[in-house]
Structure 1
Amino acid sequence: MKPYQREFIEFALANEVLKFGEFKLKSGRVSPYFFNAGLFNNGKTLGAIGGFYAAALEDANFDYDVLFGPAYKGIPLVCATALALSNDYKKDAPFSFNRKEKKDHGEGGNIVGTPLKGKIVVIDDVITAGTAINESIEIIKQNKAELTGVLVAVDRAEVAPDGTGKSAIQAVEEKNNVKVCAIISMDHIMEFMEEKGTYADQLKLMKEYKVQYGIKKD
Protein backbone atom coordinates (compact mmCIF):
# COMPACT_ATOMS: atom_id res chain seq x y z
CA MET A 1 0.00 0.00 0.00
CA LYS A 2 1.34 3.43 -0.96
CA PRO A 3 1.37 6.43 1.39
CA TYR A 4 -1.43 8.27 -0.43
CA GLN A 5 -3.65 5.17 -0.17
CA ARG A 6 -3.06 4.90 3.58
CA GLU A 7 -3.74 8.63 3.96
CA PHE A 8 -6.94 8.27 1.94
CA ILE A 9 -8.25 5.52 4.22
CA GLU A 10 -7.41 7.58 7.32
CA PHE A 11 -9.11 10.62 5.79
CA ALA A 12 -12.21 8.63 4.81
CA LEU A 13 -12.50 7.19 8.33
CA ALA A 14 -12.02 10.61 9.97
CA ASN A 15 -14.83 12.06 7.85
CA GLU A 16 -17.08 8.98 8.29
CA VAL A 17 -17.04 8.36 4.55
CA LEU A 18 -15.73 4.88 5.34
CA LYS A 19 -17.62 3.09 8.10
CA PHE A 20 -17.58 -0.38 9.62
CA GLY A 21 -20.75 -2.11 10.80
CA GLU A 22 -23.69 -3.80 9.05
CA PHE A 23 -24.86 -2.24 5.81
CA LYS A 24 -27.45 -3.72 3.48
CA LEU A 25 -26.45 -3.15 -0.14
CA LYS A 26 -28.71 -2.86 -3.17
CA SER A 27 -27.69 -6.41 -4.02
CA GLY A 28 -29.22 -7.57 -0.73
CA ARG A 29 -25.84 -8.52 0.70
CA VAL A 30 -25.00 -7.35 4.22
CA SER A 31 -21.58 -5.70 4.02
CA PRO A 32 -19.27 -5.16 7.02
CA TYR A 33 -18.16 -1.82 5.57
CA PHE A 34 -19.60 1.03 3.54
CA PHE A 35 -18.02 3.85 1.55
CA ASN A 36 -20.17 6.91 0.86
CA ALA A 37 -18.35 9.36 -1.45
CA GLY A 38 -21.37 11.66 -1.25
CA LEU A 39 -20.07 12.77 2.16
CA PHE A 40 -17.16 14.59 0.50
CA ASN A 41 -19.51 17.56 0.52
CA ASN A 42 -17.60 20.65 1.60
CA GLY A 43 -14.60 22.63 0.40
CA LYS A 44 -12.07 20.99 2.69
CA THR A 45 -13.04 17.40 1.91
CA LEU A 46 -13.49 18.06 -1.81
CA GLY A 47 -10.05 19.65 -2.00
CA ALA A 48 -8.54 16.65 -0.25
CA ILE A 49 -10.32 14.07 -2.41
CA GLY A 50 -9.06 15.87 -5.52
CA GLY A 51 -5.53 15.37 -4.23
CA PHE A 52 -6.07 11.64 -3.73
CA TYR A 53 -7.59 11.21 -7.18
CA ALA A 54 -4.70 13.16 -8.71
CA ALA A 55 -2.16 10.96 -6.91
CA ALA A 56 -3.93 7.80 -8.09
CA LEU A 57 -4.15 9.17 -11.63
CA GLU A 58 -0.42 9.82 -11.67
CA ASP A 59 0.14 6.32 -10.26
CA ALA A 60 -2.06 4.73 -12.93
CA ASN A 61 -0.02 6.44 -15.67
CA PHE A 62 -3.01 6.69 -18.02
CA ASP A 63 -2.48 8.45 -21.35
CA TYR A 64 -5.14 11.14 -21.70
CA ASP A 65 -6.05 14.44 -23.34
CA VAL A 66 -9.25 15.14 -21.39
CA LEU A 67 -10.69 14.04 -18.03
CA PHE A 68 -14.43 13.30 -18.08
CA GLY A 69 -16.73 13.41 -15.05
CA PRO A 70 -20.13 11.76 -15.56
CA ALA A 71 -23.17 13.59 -14.17
CA TYR A 72 -23.80 13.92 -11.37
CA LYS A 73 -21.29 12.60 -8.84
CA GLY A 74 -18.41 12.68 -11.30
CA ILE A 75 -18.75 16.43 -11.88
CA PRO A 76 -17.24 17.74 -8.61
CA LEU A 77 -14.72 14.88 -8.62
CA VAL A 78 -13.32 15.72 -12.06
CA CYS A 79 -13.17 19.43 -11.17
CA ALA A 80 -11.31 18.70 -7.93
CA THR A 81 -8.94 16.29 -9.68
CA ALA A 82 -8.04 18.82 -12.40
CA LEU A 83 -7.43 21.49 -9.76
CA ALA A 84 -5.18 19.18 -7.73
CA LEU A 85 -3.22 18.19 -10.84
CA SER A 86 -2.59 21.88 -11.51
CA ASN A 87 -1.63 22.73 -7.92
CA ASP A 88 0.31 19.61 -6.95
CA TYR A 89 1.80 18.41 -10.23
CA LYS A 90 1.81 21.59 -12.37
CA LYS A 91 -0.20 19.75 -15.01
CA ASP A 92 -2.92 21.48 -17.00
CA ALA A 93 -5.61 18.82 -17.33
CA PRO A 94 -8.57 19.82 -19.52
CA PHE A 95 -11.87 18.41 -18.26
CA SER A 96 -15.51 18.12 -19.19
CA PHE A 97 -18.76 16.66 -17.96
CA ASN A 98 -22.17 15.90 -19.37
CA ARG A 99 -25.64 17.25 -18.87
CA LYS A 100 -28.40 14.73 -18.24
CA GLU A 101 -30.54 16.60 -20.78
CA LYS A 102 -29.28 18.22 -23.96
CA LYS A 103 -29.37 22.00 -24.08
CA ASP A 104 -31.18 23.33 -27.16
CA HIS A 105 -30.14 26.97 -26.79
CA GLY A 106 -26.87 28.85 -26.40
CA GLU A 107 -23.95 26.58 -27.23
CA GLY A 108 -26.27 23.55 -27.21
CA GLY A 109 -25.27 19.91 -26.76
CA ASN A 110 -24.83 17.82 -23.65
CA ILE A 111 -21.09 18.33 -22.95
CA VAL A 112 -19.85 21.15 -20.73
CA GLY A 113 -16.20 22.17 -20.69
CA THR A 114 -13.43 20.92 -22.98
CA PRO A 115 -14.72 19.07 -26.08
CA LEU A 116 -14.40 15.29 -25.80
CA LYS A 117 -11.58 14.73 -28.27
CA GLY A 118 -8.60 12.42 -28.29
CA LYS A 119 -7.90 10.15 -25.33
CA ILE A 120 -10.32 10.25 -22.39
CA VAL A 121 -10.07 9.11 -18.77
CA VAL A 122 -13.32 8.86 -16.79
CA ILE A 123 -13.29 10.05 -13.17
CA ASP A 124 -16.15 8.70 -11.00
CA ASP A 125 -16.89 7.54 -7.45
CA VAL A 126 -17.64 3.82 -7.76
CA ILE A 127 -18.70 1.19 -10.28
CA THR A 128 -21.52 -0.99 -8.99
CA ALA A 129 -23.83 -2.33 -11.69
CA GLY A 130 -21.79 -0.67 -14.44
CA THR A 131 -24.78 1.26 -15.81
CA ALA A 132 -23.33 4.75 -15.28
CA ILE A 133 -19.91 3.90 -16.72
CA ASN A 134 -21.52 2.31 -19.78
CA GLU A 135 -23.44 5.56 -20.36
CA SER A 136 -20.16 7.48 -20.18
CA ILE A 137 -18.50 5.14 -22.63
CA GLU A 138 -21.37 5.63 -25.08
CA ILE A 139 -21.02 9.43 -24.79
CA ILE A 140 -17.28 9.14 -25.48
CA LYS A 141 -17.95 6.97 -28.55
CA GLN A 142 -20.58 9.41 -29.85
CA ASN A 143 -17.96 12.15 -29.70
CA LYS A 144 -15.51 9.94 -31.64
CA ALA A 145 -13.04 9.99 -28.76
CA GLU A 146 -11.09 7.08 -27.24
CA LEU A 147 -11.52 5.78 -23.69
CA THR A 148 -8.07 5.04 -22.25
CA GLY A 149 -8.84 4.57 -18.56
CA VAL A 150 -11.30 4.79 -15.69
CA LEU A 151 -10.48 5.96 -12.17
CA VAL A 152 -12.79 5.39 -9.18
CA ALA A 153 -12.43 5.78 -5.42
CA VAL A 154 -12.94 2.19 -4.25
CA ASP A 155 -12.81 -1.26 -5.82
CA ARG A 156 -14.94 -3.53 -3.62
CA ALA A 157 -13.48 -6.46 -5.58
CA GLU A 158 -16.56 -8.62 -5.09
CA VAL A 159 -18.42 -10.70 -7.61
CA ALA A 160 -21.52 -9.18 -9.15
CA PRO A 161 -24.85 -10.88 -8.35
CA ASP A 162 -25.26 -11.86 -12.04
CA GLY A 163 -23.56 -15.26 -11.63
CA THR A 164 -20.60 -14.52 -13.93
CA GLY A 165 -18.07 -14.70 -11.11
CA LYS A 166 -16.70 -11.33 -12.18
CA SER A 167 -16.83 -7.98 -10.44
CA ALA A 168 -18.51 -4.99 -12.07
CA ILE A 169 -15.06 -3.51 -12.67
CA GLN A 170 -13.77 -6.70 -14.31
CA ALA A 171 -16.85 -6.76 -16.56
CA VAL A 172 -16.22 -3.16 -17.67
CA GLU A 173 -12.54 -3.90 -18.30
CA GLU A 174 -13.24 -6.96 -20.42
CA LYS A 175 -16.16 -5.49 -22.36
CA ASN A 176 -14.28 -2.30 -23.28
CA ASN A 177 -10.66 -3.51 -23.24
CA VAL A 178 -9.77 -0.72 -20.83
CA LYS A 179 -8.03 -0.56 -17.45
CA VAL A 180 -10.07 0.50 -14.41
CA CYS A 181 -8.02 1.72 -11.43
CA ALA A 182 -9.14 2.66 -7.93
CA ILE A 183 -7.57 4.79 -5.22
CA ILE A 184 -8.04 1.86 -2.83
CA SER A 185 -9.49 -1.65 -2.83
CA MET A 186 -11.02 -3.82 -0.12
CA ASP A 187 -7.59 -5.44 0.28
CA HIS A 188 -6.04 -2.04 1.06
CA ILE A 189 -8.68 -1.43 3.74
CA MET A 190 -7.98 -4.83 5.30
CA GLU A 191 -4.22 -4.21 5.16
CA PHE A 192 -4.78 -0.91 6.96
CA MET A 193 -6.86 -2.65 9.64
CA GLU A 194 -4.12 -5.26 10.14
CA GLU A 195 -1.52 -2.51 10.54
CA LYS A 196 -3.57 -0.64 13.14
CA GLY A 197 -4.29 -3.77 15.17
CA THR A 198 -7.43 -2.27 16.71
CA TYR A 199 -10.01 -3.67 14.32
CA ALA A 200 -9.91 -7.37 15.22
CA ASP A 201 -13.69 -7.95 15.23
CA GLN A 202 -14.34 -5.88 12.10
CA LEU A 203 -11.41 -7.45 10.28
CA LYS A 204 -12.77 -10.94 11.01
CA LEU A 205 -16.07 -9.93 9.36
CA MET A 206 -14.23 -8.40 6.41
CA LYS A 207 -12.30 -11.62 5.84
CA GLU A 208 -15.50 -13.69 6.01
CA TYR A 209 -17.21 -11.36 3.54
CA LYS A 210 -14.25 -11.61 1.16
CA VAL A 211 -14.30 -15.42 1.29
CA GLN A 212 -18.03 -15.40 0.47
CA TYR A 213 -18.19 -12.65 -2.15
CA GLY A 214 -14.64 -11.70 -3.16
CA ILE A 215 -13.48 -12.18 -6.72
CA LYS A 216 -11.22 -15.14 -7.33
CA LYS A 217 -7.81 -13.98 -8.53
CA ASP A 218 -5.70 -16.03 -10.90
Structure 2
Amino acid sequence: MASSTSTKLPQWKSDLIELALQSGILTFGTFTLKSNRISPYFVNCGLFCRGKSIRSISEAYAQALDTYAKENKDWGFDVLFGPAYKGIPLCATTCDKLAGLDEKRWGDVAYSYNRKEVKDHGEGGLMVGESLKGKRVVIIDDVITAGTAIREAISIIEKQGGELVGIIVAVDRQEKMPSQAEKEGKGDDGVARGSAIGEVSRETGVPVMAVLTLSDLIVEMRKLGREEEMKKMEDYYAQYKPVE
Protein backbone atom coordinates (compact mmCIF):
# COMPACT_ATOMS: atom_id res chain seq x y z
CA MET A 1 0.00 0.00 0.00
CA ALA A 2 1.31 3.46 -0.89
CA SER A 3 2.18 5.36 2.25
CA SER A 4 4.17 8.37 3.43
CA THR A 5 5.31 6.69 6.62
CA SER A 6 8.94 6.91 7.66
CA THR A 7 9.76 3.41 6.35
CA LYS A 8 13.43 3.33 5.45
CA LEU A 9 14.37 2.11 1.99
CA PRO A 10 17.42 -0.02 1.25
CA GLN A 11 20.29 2.24 0.22
CA TRP A 12 20.31 0.87 -3.32
CA LYS A 13 16.67 1.94 -3.78
CA SER A 14 17.33 5.43 -2.44
CA ASP A 15 20.39 5.78 -4.68
CA LEU A 16 18.40 4.68 -7.73
CA ILE A 17 15.54 7.11 -7.06
CA GLU A 18 17.93 10.01 -6.51
CA LEU A 19 19.78 9.20 -9.74
CA ALA A 20 16.41 9.00 -11.54
CA LEU A 21 15.55 12.47 -10.24
CA GLN A 22 18.92 13.93 -11.22
CA SER A 23 18.76 12.38 -14.70
CA GLY A 24 15.19 13.40 -15.49
CA ILE A 25 14.09 9.77 -15.53
CA LEU A 26 11.63 10.51 -12.71
CA THR A 27 9.79 13.77 -13.29
CA PHE A 28 6.78 15.55 -11.82
CA GLY A 29 4.08 17.57 -13.52
CA THR A 30 0.95 16.67 -15.49
CA PHE A 31 1.23 13.59 -17.67
CA THR A 32 -1.47 11.90 -19.76
CA LEU A 33 -0.86 8.15 -19.69
CA LYS A 34 -1.90 5.60 -22.32
CA SER A 35 -4.88 4.89 -20.07
CA ASN A 36 -5.87 8.58 -20.38
CA ARG A 37 -5.31 9.01 -16.64
CA ILE A 38 -3.63 12.23 -15.59
CA SER A 39 -0.60 11.30 -13.51
CA PRO A 40 1.43 13.72 -11.34
CA TYR A 41 4.61 11.74 -11.98
CA PHE A 42 6.27 9.87 -14.81
CA VAL A 43 9.15 7.41 -14.97
CA ASN A 44 10.79 7.27 -18.40
CA CYS A 45 12.74 4.00 -18.25
CA GLY A 46 14.00 4.59 -21.79
CA LEU A 47 16.36 7.20 -20.32
CA PHE A 48 18.34 4.54 -18.46
CA CYS A 49 20.65 4.75 -21.47
CA ARG A 50 23.95 6.18 -20.21
CA GLY A 51 26.76 4.30 -18.54
CA LYS A 52 26.03 5.42 -14.99
CA SER A 53 22.26 5.00 -15.25
CA ILE A 54 22.25 1.58 -16.97
CA ARG A 55 24.75 0.39 -14.37
CA SER A 56 22.50 1.67 -11.61
CA ILE A 57 19.26 0.13 -12.89
CA SER A 58 20.86 -3.23 -13.73
CA GLU A 59 22.46 -3.37 -10.27
CA ALA A 60 19.00 -2.66 -8.81
CA TYR A 61 17.41 -5.49 -10.83
CA ALA A 62 20.17 -7.81 -9.63
CA GLN A 63 19.69 -6.75 -6.00
CA ALA A 64 15.93 -7.31 -6.22
CA LEU A 65 16.34 -10.78 -7.75
CA ASP A 66 19.04 -11.75 -5.25
CA THR A 67 16.94 -10.53 -2.33
CA TYR A 68 13.90 -12.49 -3.48
CA ALA A 69 16.01 -15.64 -3.95
CA LYS A 70 17.48 -15.32 -0.44
CA GLU A 71 13.99 -14.95 1.02
CA ASN A 72 12.66 -17.91 -1.01
CA LYS A 73 15.31 -20.61 -0.76
CA ASP A 74 13.67 -23.03 -3.20
CA TRP A 75 13.37 -20.42 -5.96
CA GLY A 76 15.89 -19.87 -8.72
CA PHE A 77 16.22 -19.50 -12.47
CA ASP A 78 18.52 -20.30 -15.37
CA VAL A 79 17.76 -17.59 -17.95
CA LEU A 80 16.77 -13.93 -17.95
CA PHE A 81 14.53 -13.28 -20.95
CA GLY A 82 14.36 -9.69 -22.22
CA PRO A 83 11.47 -9.00 -24.62
CA ALA A 84 12.47 -6.87 -27.60
CA TYR A 85 13.29 -4.08 -27.48
CA LYS A 86 13.60 -2.52 -24.03
CA GLY A 87 14.26 -5.85 -22.37
CA ILE A 88 17.34 -6.57 -24.48
CA PRO A 89 19.93 -4.36 -22.70
CA LEU A 90 18.29 -5.12 -19.35
CA CYS A 91 18.74 -8.89 -19.57
CA ALA A 92 22.40 -8.65 -20.61
CA THR A 93 23.50 -6.02 -18.10
CA THR A 94 21.56 -7.59 -15.22
CA CYS A 95 23.20 -10.98 -15.89
CA ASP A 96 26.55 -9.27 -15.53
CA LYS A 97 25.56 -7.60 -12.24
CA LEU A 98 24.16 -10.86 -10.82
CA ALA A 99 27.47 -12.60 -11.46
CA GLY A 100 29.21 -9.70 -9.74
CA LEU A 101 26.99 -10.08 -6.67
CA ASP A 102 27.60 -13.80 -6.25
CA GLU A 103 29.45 -15.63 -9.01
CA LYS A 104 28.98 -19.03 -7.37
CA ARG A 105 25.22 -18.62 -7.28
CA TRP A 106 24.55 -16.54 -10.38
CA GLY A 107 27.61 -16.98 -12.59
CA ASP A 108 25.91 -19.46 -14.91
CA VAL A 109 22.67 -17.52 -15.34
CA ALA A 110 22.27 -16.77 -19.04
CA TYR A 111 20.23 -14.30 -21.04
CA SER A 112 18.04 -14.56 -24.09
CA TYR A 113 15.88 -12.23 -26.14
CA ASN A 114 13.58 -12.39 -29.13
CA ARG A 115 13.70 -10.66 -32.47
CA LYS A 116 10.68 -8.68 -33.60
CA GLU A 117 10.98 -10.39 -36.99
CA VAL A 118 12.26 -13.90 -37.60
CA LYS A 119 15.69 -13.89 -39.25
CA ASP A 120 15.95 -16.20 -42.27
CA HIS A 121 19.73 -16.09 -42.78
CA GLY A 122 22.87 -16.54 -40.68
CA GLU A 123 21.96 -18.38 -37.48
CA GLY A 124 18.30 -17.61 -38.27
CA GLY A 125 15.33 -17.98 -35.98
CA LEU A 126 13.37 -15.86 -33.54
CA MET A 127 15.67 -16.11 -30.51
CA VAL A 128 19.11 -14.79 -29.65
CA GLY A 129 21.22 -16.06 -26.76
CA GLU A 130 20.60 -19.03 -24.51
CA SER A 131 18.06 -21.66 -25.51
CA LEU A 132 14.98 -21.60 -23.30
CA LYS A 133 14.17 -25.28 -23.75
CA GLY A 134 13.96 -27.01 -20.39
CA LYS A 135 15.13 -23.88 -18.56
CA ARG A 136 13.61 -21.90 -15.70
CA VAL A 137 13.00 -18.42 -17.07
CA VAL A 138 12.48 -14.96 -15.54
CA ILE A 139 11.12 -12.18 -17.76
CA ILE A 140 12.81 -8.81 -17.24
CA ASP A 141 11.16 -5.65 -18.58
CA ASP A 142 10.65 -1.99 -17.68
CA VAL A 143 6.99 -1.87 -16.66
CA ILE A 144 3.68 -3.73 -16.79
CA THR A 145 0.87 -1.47 -17.99
CA ALA A 146 -2.01 -3.61 -19.27
CA GLY A 147 0.03 -6.82 -19.26
CA THR A 148 -0.21 -7.34 -23.05
CA ALA A 149 3.56 -7.30 -23.71
CA ILE A 150 4.22 -9.65 -20.80
CA ARG A 151 1.62 -12.12 -22.06
CA GLU A 152 3.31 -12.07 -25.48
CA ALA A 153 6.64 -12.82 -23.79
CA ILE A 154 5.07 -15.70 -21.84
CA SER A 155 3.75 -17.14 -25.10
CA ILE A 156 7.25 -17.03 -26.63
CA ILE A 157 8.74 -18.79 -23.60
CA GLU A 158 6.12 -21.55 -23.73
CA LYS A 159 6.63 -22.09 -27.46
CA GLN A 160 10.41 -22.31 -26.88
CA GLY A 161 9.94 -24.99 -24.21
CA GLY A 162 10.89 -22.85 -21.22
CA GLU A 163 9.26 -22.72 -17.79
CA LEU A 164 8.25 -19.28 -16.53
CA VAL A 165 9.23 -18.92 -12.84
CA GLY A 166 9.11 -15.14 -12.35
CA ILE A 167 8.76 -11.66 -13.79
CA ILE A 168 10.63 -8.53 -12.75
CA VAL A 169 9.95 -4.94 -13.82
CA ALA A 170 11.51 -1.61 -12.95
CA VAL A 171 8.39 0.15 -11.67
CA ASP A 172 5.10 -0.91 -10.12
CA ARG A 173 2.75 2.09 -10.25
CA GLN A 174 0.41 0.27 -7.82
CA GLU A 175 -2.76 1.37 -9.56
CA LYS A 176 -5.80 -0.52 -10.77
CA MET A 177 -6.00 -1.61 -14.37
CA PRO A 178 -7.68 0.94 -16.62
CA SER A 179 -11.22 0.34 -17.81
CA GLN A 180 -12.25 0.36 -21.44
CA ALA A 181 -14.08 3.63 -20.76
CA GLU A 182 -10.84 5.24 -19.59
CA LYS A 183 -8.97 4.01 -22.64
CA GLU A 184 -11.66 5.64 -24.77
CA GLY A 185 -11.24 8.91 -22.89
CA LYS A 186 -14.56 8.69 -21.03
CA GLY A 187 -13.10 8.79 -17.52
CA ASP A 188 -12.89 6.34 -14.65
CA ASP A 189 -15.96 4.14 -14.25
CA GLY A 190 -15.38 3.82 -10.51
CA VAL A 191 -15.28 0.01 -10.59
CA ALA A 192 -12.78 -1.66 -8.26
CA ARG A 193 -10.14 -3.70 -10.11
CA GLY A 194 -6.79 -5.28 -9.37
CA SER A 195 -3.45 -3.95 -10.57
CA ALA A 196 -1.82 -5.14 -13.78
CA ILE A 197 0.95 -6.78 -11.75
CA GLY A 198 -1.56 -8.49 -9.48
CA GLU A 199 -3.58 -9.79 -12.42
CA VAL A 200 -0.49 -11.15 -14.18
CA SER A 201 0.70 -12.84 -10.97
CA ARG A 202 -2.69 -14.47 -10.46
CA GLU A 203 -2.87 -15.63 -14.09
CA THR A 204 0.63 -17.08 -14.18
CA GLY A 205 1.06 -18.27 -10.60
CA VAL A 206 4.60 -16.88 -10.49
CA PRO A 207 6.05 -13.99 -8.47
CA VAL A 208 6.00 -10.57 -10.13
CA MET A 209 8.72 -8.42 -8.61
CA ALA A 210 9.34 -4.70 -8.97
CA VAL A 211 12.58 -2.82 -8.40
CA LEU A 212 10.65 0.30 -7.34
CA THR A 213 7.03 0.89 -6.36
CA LEU A 214 4.94 4.01 -5.98
CA SER A 215 5.26 3.45 -2.22
CA ASP A 216 9.06 3.60 -2.54
CA LEU A 217 8.86 6.88 -4.45
CA ILE A 218 6.59 8.38 -1.80
CA VAL A 219 8.93 7.34 1.02
CA GLU A 220 11.95 8.84 -0.75
CA MET A 221 10.14 12.10 -1.57
CA ARG A 222 9.30 12.44 2.10
CA LYS A 223 12.91 11.83 3.07
CA LEU A 224 14.03 14.50 0.61
CA GLY A 225 11.48 16.98 1.97
CA ARG A 226 9.53 17.11 -1.28
CA GLU A 227 6.13 17.26 0.41
CA GLU A 228 4.21 18.64 -2.58
CA GLU A 229 5.21 15.80 -4.89
CA MET A 230 4.63 13.25 -2.13
CA LYS A 231 1.10 14.53 -1.47
CA LYS A 232 0.17 14.47 -5.17
CA MET A 233 1.34 10.86 -5.49
CA GLU A 234 -0.62 9.87 -2.39
CA ASP A 235 -3.74 11.53 -3.81
CA TYR A 236 -3.24 9.74 -7.13
CA TYR A 237 -2.88 6.42 -5.34
CA ALA A 238 -6.06 7.06 -3.36
CA GLN A 239 -7.95 7.70 -6.60
CA TYR A 240 -6.69 4.61 -8.44
CA LYS A 241 -6.00 2.22 -5.58
CA PRO A 242 -6.24 -1.42 -6.77
CA VAL A 243 -8.01 -4.28 -5.09
CA GLU A 244 -5.47 -7.03 -4.38
Into which bin does the TM-score normalised by the smaller protein fall? over 0.9
| Structure 2 alignment gaps of length 5 or more | 1-8, 70-74, 180-190
Which residue is 2:161 aligned to?
Answer: 144
2:97 and 2:172 map into 1 onto residues whose CA distance is: 22
| Structure 1 alignment gaps of length 5 or more | none
Which residue is 1:168 aligned to?
Answer: 196
Which residue is 1:99 aligned to?
Answer: 115
Which residue is 2:76 aligned to?
Answer: 63
1:210 Cα deviation after fit: 0.8
Provide the aligned length of Structure 1 versus Structure 2: 216
Residue identity matched to 1:20: F
1:129 Cα deviation after fit: 1.3
Between 148-157 and 2-11, the greater mean CA deviation after superposition: 2-11
1:49 Cα deviation after fit: 1.5
What TM-score do the two structures reach when normalised by structure 2? 0.85
1:10 and 1:200 map into 2 onto residues whose CA distance is: 15
Q: How does 1:39-58 map to 2 (within 5 A)?
A: 39-58=47-66
1:153 and 1:81 map into 2 onto residues whose CA distance is: 12
Which residue is 1:72 aligned to?
Answer: 85
Secondary structure of 1:124 counterpart: strand
Residue identity matched to 2:130: T
1:154 and 1:188 map into 2 onto residues whose CA distance is: 10
Which residue is 1:214 aligned to?
Answer: 241
Between the two structures, name the one with larger relative contact order (CA 8 Å, sep ≥ 6). 2
What TM-score do the two structures reach when normalised by structure 1? 0.94
Deviations 1:64-107, CA, capped at 9 Å, x for gaps: 01110000000011111011112333232210100011112222
Q: Is residue 49–residue 80 contact of structure 1 (8 Å, CA) maintained in 2?
A: no
1:192 Cα deviation after fit: 1.0
2:171 and 2:11 map into 1 onto residues whose CA distance is: 16
1:114 partnered with 2:142: no
CA RMSD across the alignment: 1.3
Secondary structure of 1:26 counterpart: coil
Q: Is residue 112–residue 129 contact of structure 2 (8 Å, CA) maintained in 1?
A: yes
